[in-house]
Amino acid sequence: MKSTYSDILSSISEEKKLLAVLIDPDKMKLEALSGFMQKLNQSIATHIFVGGSTVNDYATELIVLEIKKHTKLPVVLFPGDVSQITNKADALLFLSLISGDNPEYLIGKHIKAVSKLRDLALEVIPTGYLLIENGRQTTVEKVTQTLPLPIENVQYIIDTAKAGELLGMKLVYLEAGSGALQPVPLEIISFVKQELSVPLIVGGGIRTKQQLNEAYNFGADLVVIGTAFEDDEAFFDQLRK
């Protein structure tokens, strides 16, 4: 059976860099989706992530079904809550917020998700999720009531990421937060990458092609961008295949 995770591993072994466009079901209007997807399909995007911190029930399923009409790219859930889980997607990032000490986001919501997941044929990818300080408070910080890891504490960030891998997480995601003032610092990406054997995702605050390429050059295997496309779809033109 086709697996989104094994495809990610194969791409990395072929030294291909991956780009996920994040679609927030609360912000994307269904009627605007077709034009957005047309541009996305002509770009270097390899994945579509769907999720948000505060999404109405069923909005996720609706938008995933609609996205699927327009693309063959894998659609991966990046959920802020259990209600965002749907088997209409190809895979689910089963995110544990390992940078924080809120048990609800470390394991609590995951337990609540199991009764749903048990009945769904949905690929589940355990993912260690680290919120990194970016210069302002982000929605993730507010919603999860956890503090981001300070960027001066590089060793602690590296050790947290590695702890996630040692716990069996198959992806590590360094998150500056949606609309971050500053993306995750490049040296942090580089140090974390050197320590990990699992793929590294980086997102939050990346708005230019240069920042995207820098993130790749310093070790990101997959970069997630949302706000820059929401603000201006012309950004797709800079990222044409």
Site residues (vs ligand 1GP, CB under 6 A): 22, 175, 178-180, 203-206, 224-228
Q: Which of 169/180 has CB closer to ligand 1GP?
A: 180
Taking the least distance from each CB to ligand 1GP, the nearer of 113 and 206 is 206
- Within 8 A by CB and 6+ apart from 134, the residues are 148, 176, 177, 180, 181, 182, 183, 184, 204, 205
Kindly tell me which of 120 and 147 has the beta carbon lying closer to ligand 1GP. 147
Cβ-based nearer residue to ligand 1GP, 37 or 131: 131
Least distance between ligand 1GP and beta carbon 59 (Å):
17
Query: Among 152, 146, 173, which residue's Cα sits nearest to residue 161?
Result: 173
Number of residue whose CB is nearest ligand 1GP: 203
CB-nearer residue toward ligand 1GP: 80 or 126: 80
Within 32-188, strands assigned E span 47-50, 75-77, 91-97, 123-131, 171-175
CB of 230 to ligand 1GP, least distance (A): 7
Q: By the 8 A CB rule, do 100 and 106 touch?
A: yes
- Would you give the DSSP letter of residue 208? S
Cβ nearer to ligand 1GP, comparing 46 with 120: 46
Shortest separation between residue 9's beta carbon and ligand 1GP, angstroms: 21
Q: Which is nearer to ligand 1GP, 106 or 120 (CB)?
A: 106
How many residues belong to the chain?
241
At residue 158, φ and ψ (nearest 5 deg) are: -60, -45
User: Is-contact 32 67, C-beta < 8 A?
Assistant: no
Least distance to ligand 1GP from the beta carbon of 202, Å?
Answer: 8
Q: CA-CA distance, 104 to 198, in Å (whole number)?
A: 25
CB of residue 203 vs ligand 1GP: minimum separation in angstroms? 2
The least CB distance from residue 2 to ligand 1GP, in Å, is 25
Three-class secondary structure of residue 167 per DSSP: coil
Residues 6+ apart with CB under 8 A from 81: 55, 109
Q: How far is the CB of 110 from ligand 1GP (least distance, A)?
A: 18
